[in-house]
Amino acid sequence: MGLLIDGVVYMVTEYQHVKPGKGSAFVRCKMRNVKTNQVLERTFRSSEKLDDVTLEERRMQNLYSSTDGQHFMDMTTYEEVVVPETAIEGARFLQDNLEVVGLFYNGAVVKVSVPNFIIAMVTQSDPGLKGDSSKSGGKPATIDTGATIQVPLFINAGEVIKVDTRTGTYVERAKK
């Protein structure tokens, strides 16, 4: 559910309806700003009027990048949508043809979220040495999206790995 407060769109993440013994009932809400991801906690009385906002999630596919921003294809209407880099959560992990979720408000994309995990190929990494194990530390590696992440010492260039896009960390080796 979305709310419009002072001209800013918020998405309700948690709410709690409270009926105290004395006085009127109220609702405690935890809301997230759709554009900045800032969390806001507010209490609303039953007498307050709020503007309800319709937020729609749609699947989109990444097409290419340009100076205007990232170009996506809406998978329901097959229209091309241009989204600025600032509206993309996890933009450094965008791959060609990657399916993402777009949040729409009034027909325009407000925010794009990449999947929690992606499968990526390591394009550049220092070579591993015999005897390196997963417990002895890490080294920087560049993946096919251009992002640099920390990987265990035994990962070499050309290997396929699973990456957590929320934290930007290596998870495990993956199969092609």
* Digitized pLDDT (tens) for each residue of the chain, 176 residues in all: 788 888 888 888 899 998 888 888 899 999 988 888 889 899 988 888 888 888 888 999 999 988 888 999 999 889 999 998 888 888 899 988 999 999 888 888 888 989 999 999 999 988 766 655 555 678 899 999 889 999 888 888 889 999 999 898 999 988 86
* Closest to 170 measured CA to CA, from 142, 136, 129: 142
pLDDT score of 110:
86
- Distant-in-sequence, close-in-space partners of 2: CB < 8 Å, separation ≥ 6: 9, 10, 11, 12, 34, 52, 53, 54, 55, 105
How many CB atoms within 10 Å of residue 9? 20
pLDDT score of 130:
60
pTM to 2 decimal places: 0.75
pLDDT score of 133:
58
pLDDT score of 132:
55
pLDDT score of 163:
92
Query: Phi then psi for 108, rounded to 5 degrees?
Result: -115, 150
pLDDT score of 54:
86
How many CB atoms within 10 Å of residue 119? 16
pLDDT score of 60:
94
* Closest to 25 measured CA to CA, from 38, 44, 6, 42: 44
Cβ atoms of 99 and 61 within 8 Å: the answer is: yes
Q: What is the token pair recorded at 10?
A: 């918020």
pLDDT score of 129:
64
4 alpha-carbon distance from chain centroid: 22
**Domains of the chain, each with CATH number or no CATH:** 2-53 (2.30.30.30), 56-113 (2.40.50.140), 118-173 (2.40.50.140)
pLDDT score of 72:
93
Q: Cα(44)–Cα(67) distance, rounded to whole angstroms?
A: 43
